[in-house]
Amino acid sequence: MIKPVSVAALPVAENFIIQKNRIENDAGPGCKRVCVVTGTHGDELEGQYVCAQLAKILNEDKQKLSGIVDIYPALNPLGIDSVTRGFPMFDLDMNRIFPGSQTGLLAEVVAHDVIHDIDGADMCIDIHSSNIFLREIPQVRVSEQTAAELLSYAVMLNVDLVWIHASATVLESTLAHSLNIRGVKTLVVEMGVGMRITENYCTQLVDGILNLLHELGMWSGQIGQVRKPLVSKDQRIDFLNSDAHGIFIPGASHGSHVNAGDCIGKVIDPLVGVVVEEVLAPNSGLLFTLREYPVVFGGSLLARIMEDSKNG
């Protein structure tokens, strides 16, 4: 059933509207509820295909569902509609204003409505797809402070990597943080690249979400083989930023294992036709992030490598 989550009047003969698709079966009192949300950043589209596939599978085999799955494909519908990462006509990143405010500006009221709607759910999966610059392998990101509680769920999602990252004050205003402190266990998925759909990643995550539902006792339908992700614990993560400006040409394939000294790519200057920077892997490990957008400034992130575990 399609339900409105947040509605507000736009200036000329249109309402702003966020909708969700509630798929439920056997949903008595005390039943479990899982939310799948995406589209906070209007240029991240991988989640669109995940939502569509998930809704299709659940609807086709609804009697095998026990509980409620709420699917929110677009928290920033105006952004998705206009190829805009942010919330149009609002300066701040939409994922920096949660939990929002009932008396704030439109984006803040919307953030408040979204939190209010999800509140009380057992789990939430917040799907992001990087940005237009970087390609990511399917991964779950959890902060150090929530890792103890979330790690056992993160590994159910059929991703390749679980990245436990340091906490930062600015991240306290994300959707995930705001939900986690309210007791809605929220997992942030990052995968693929902005403005594109990577079909095999989407299918992989759909399998993972079905597996999670199965583990929660909400899904008795088919589930595929679930992979065991690498978990960043004590391993070092190398950030490779460009020191030059130019055009980046990748030299290694995304998601592959690289050895120390391998060429990850080069930055070239098309005007004079020379290589201005050769980018080498400082350590052996998994090349989980790789630059997709060729133009770089000094500082542009080119790759991230998760170093091999010392104990194999």
Residues in touch with other proteins (CB under 8 A): 8-13, 16, 85-86, 89-92, 96-97, 103-106, 108-109, 131, 133, 169-173, 239, 241, 245-247, 269-271, 295, 297-301
Whose Cβ is closer to other proteins: residue 105's or residue 223's?
105
Q: With CB cut-offs between 5 and 8 Å by kind, which of Zn ion, other proteins, none does residue 128 bind?
A: Zn ion
Secondary structure of the chain as H, E, C letters: CEEEEEEEEECCCEEEEEEEEEEEECCCCCCCEEEEEECCCCCCCHHHHHHHHHHHHHHHCHHHECEEEEEECCCCHHHHHCCCCCCCCCCCCHHHCCCCCCCCCHHHHHHHHHHHHHCCCCEEEEEECCCCCEEEEEEEEEEHHHHHHHHHHHHHHCCCEEEEECCCHHHHHCHHHHHHHCCCEEEEEEEECCCCCCHHHHHHHHHHHHHHHHHCCCECCCCCCCCCCEEECCCCEEEEECCCCEEEEECCCCCCEECCCCEEEEEEECCCCEEEEEEECCCCEEEEEEECCCEECCCCEEEEEEECCCCC
Whose Cβ is closer to other proteins: residue 222's or residue 239's?
239
Does 128 bind Zn ion (CB under 5 A)? Our answer is: yes
Q: With CB cut-offs between 5 and 8 Å by kind, which of Zn ion, other proteins, none does residue 109 bind?
A: other proteins
Cβ of residue 294: shortest distance to other proteins, in angstroms?
Answer: 10
Q: Between 256 and 285, how does the x/- string for binding to Zn ion read (CB under 5 A)?
A: ------------------------------
Cβ of residue 226: shortest distance to other proteins, in angstroms?
Answer: 34
Q: Between 33 and 52, how does the x/- string for binding to Zn ion read (CB under 5 A)?
A: --------x--x--------
Q: With CB cut-offs between 5 and 8 Å by kind, which of other proteins, Zn ion, none does residue 301 bind?
A: other proteins
Whose Cβ is closer to other proteins: residue 82's or residue 309's?
82
Whose Cβ is closer to Zn ion: residue 67's or residue 86's?
86
Whose Cβ is closer to other proteins: residue 1's or residue 272's?
272
Whose Cβ is closer to other proteins: residue 19's or residue 25's?
19
In the complex, the residues that contact Zn ion under the rule CB under 5 A are 41, 44, 128
